[in-house]
Amino acid sequence: MFEGSIVALITPFREGEVDYEALGKLIDFHVDNGTDAILVCGTTGESPTLTFEEHDKVVEFAVKHAAGRIKVIAGTGANATHEAVHLTAHAKEVGADAALLVVPYYNKPTQEGLYRHFSAVAEEVDIPIILYNIPSRTGVEIGVDTVYRLVSRYPNVVGSKESVSNMDRISELVSRLGDNFCVLSGDDSLTLPMMALGAKGVISVANNIMPKEIKELTSLALKGDFKKARRLHLGLLKLFKALFIETNPIPVKTACWMMGMCEKEFRLPMTGMKKENEDKLREVLRGYGLPLVN
């Protein structure tokens, strides 16, 4: 079971290359702050601009550096099934604890296409698989019936990351799939509402910079202490919104740079923040008392 506070980890770059020294320090930071798992090579990790070789190396590095101190989930989704199989097989080979597979993007498969896509990966690679439903980026949503069909046949399909605001969908997933299926929020501002309905935690962007608070929020919700969890959620809401004033992961990587955790470096087509938005972000971070060095 994957639950609690999972960080959607950024991928630090330096002079056009992956900065493995900074990546190792980021992993240590989350071990030290009690984060339950790290996700590498996800959207926040700028996976679309990593080469296949970099993708494989980042996953392998994360597993080796974590050394069993924290669970490692590898983003292995693709819009071509053979690519998803390759990436997922590599993740298993190097020892990742699970794979996160995004719904194929741009080509907009049918529900039958989605079922066959994920079936192919689940049959080929015996690793825990978390589906990633984010229709705002992929152009298509995986239906609850399709999720149910996959879970009913493949025991290694263990959860779904849900980046949607439709709470009826979350209710239906929890109701139909039960406690053994792990629904995870994919949006920090929706974590508490989803957990109130039975989700198990969050794959979080804000966790990159405030891991203790996200861990506390999910721990309170898992214990059913929603009064305290709500107070913490409301206190963090300004941060959640600030991290999306431009396309993720631009604001959160900029925030990490401000805190001295990485360089402020992106790969095209991602670019740095507009100055006025960077100033707004800095003001929000200062309001939380975060240590800024840039």
Catalytic residues: 132, 161
Closest of 168, 219, 171 to residue 6, by C-alpha? 219
Dihedral sign (CA 266, 141, 110, 55): positive
| Rg of the chain, C-alpha, whole Å | 18
User: Residue 69 and residue 250: Cα distance in Å, rounded?
Assistant: 28
**CA distances, 166 to each of 160, 170, 173 (Å):** 14, 7, 11
User: Residue 117 and residue 85: Cα distance in Å, rounded?
Assistant: 9
User: Residue 287 and residue 282: Cα distance in Å, rounded?
Assistant: 9
Closest of 86, 184, 181 to residue 133, by C-alpha? 184
Closest of 4, 3, 5, 2 to residue 211, by C-alpha? 5
